């Protein structure tokens, strides 16, 4: 008997495939990141058994406990939450990808720590705050270019793409302009040739709005609730 998590994963994969077909895209170019924040290691292990191998966590400390239970090399670990500078070293040790770089200071710090930890490379995305919600994390569009210039000069950080969290809307259609905007910024940066490898990832789309995000070009979707159920 497949577990609920295995069944949910099947459903989510189906949603991704359908949305990709609808947008005349290849579903294989969309990476599913299962967001396991607040969920126990046992839930992650069930997802791994169902051939899911990328997980998103938003807190370094919680991820630390979980990853040590499961094994650092059992999956790819993505940090999707705001990174405080005093957690940067542990983040470099734990994560394969950081989606939430949002200041030149943080970029400099991560770069220095990679050198100190003898970590040859770390994949990073820049989180852009397109809603002007200053309480949330993410860099304002007006300050983005400065951060991009810093990342260009980093030897260890590999700048691979952009991430956005739109405000919550009841109607996922309302998130579309945010996804379109992120894509336009990505396209411009791609022209500039700033991405470490080719195209530039777009990390966007959650349980509620993954179809819209995929139609607008998402290459990484971050899905929690639809896989692991509601969070307490
Ligand atoms: C929690 C979270 C998600 C997943 O949200 P769901 O609505 O549960 O799919 C995705 N991205 C980020 C940054 C999150 O914090």
Residue 207 CA, closest ligand 1 atom number: 9
Give the per-residue pLDDT at 135. 62
Domains of the chain: 4-228 (3.20.20.10)
Cβ burial, residue 143 (10 Å; 0-12/13-18/19+): middle
Contacts of 57 (CB under 8 A, 6+ apart): 35, 36, 37, 63, 66, 77, 78, 79, 80, 81
Separation of CA 116 and ligand 1 centre (Å) = 31
pTM greater than the 0.95 cutoff: yes
**Which ligand 1 atom is nearest residue 210's CA?**
9
| Residue stretches of the chain with pLDDT short of 70 | 1, 134-135
Which atom of ligand 1 has the smallest separation from the CA of 228?
A: 8
What is the CA(149)–ligand 1 centre distance, in A?
29
pLDDT of residue 132: 83
**3-class secondary structure, 160:** strand
Q: Which of 130, 204, 222, 227 to mutate to test the pocket of ligand 1 (most atoms within 8 A of CB)?
A: 222
């Amino acid at each position: 008997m497949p577990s609920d998590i295995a069944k949910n994963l099947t459903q989510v994969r189906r949603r991704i495939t359908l949305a990709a077909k609808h947008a005349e895209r290849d579903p294989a170019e969309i990476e599913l990141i299962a967001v396991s924040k607040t969920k126990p290691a046992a839930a992650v292990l069930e997802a791994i058994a169902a051939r899911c191998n990328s997980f998103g966590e938003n807190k370094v400390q919680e991820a630390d406990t979980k990853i040590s239970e499961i094994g650092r090399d059992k999956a790819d670990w993505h940090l999707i939450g705001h990174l405080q500078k005093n957690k940067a070293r542990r983040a470099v040790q734990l994560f394969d990808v950081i989606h939430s770089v949002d200041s030149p200071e943080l970029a400099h710090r991560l770069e220095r720590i990679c050198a100190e930890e003898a970590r040859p490379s770390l994949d990073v995305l820049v989180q852009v705050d397109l809603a002007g919600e200053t309480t949330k994390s993410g860099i304002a569009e007006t300050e983005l270019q400065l951060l991009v210039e810093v990342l260009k000069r980093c030897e260890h950080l590999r700048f691979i793409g952009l991430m956005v969290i739109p405000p919550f809307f009841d109607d996922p259609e309302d998130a579309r302009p945010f996804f379109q905007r992120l894509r336009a910024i990505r396209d411009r940066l791609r022209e500039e040739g700033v991405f470490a490898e080719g195209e530039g990832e777009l990390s966007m789309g959650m349980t509620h709005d993954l179809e819209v995000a995929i139609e607008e070009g998402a290459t990484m979707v971050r899905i929690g609730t639809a896989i692991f159920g509601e969070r307490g």
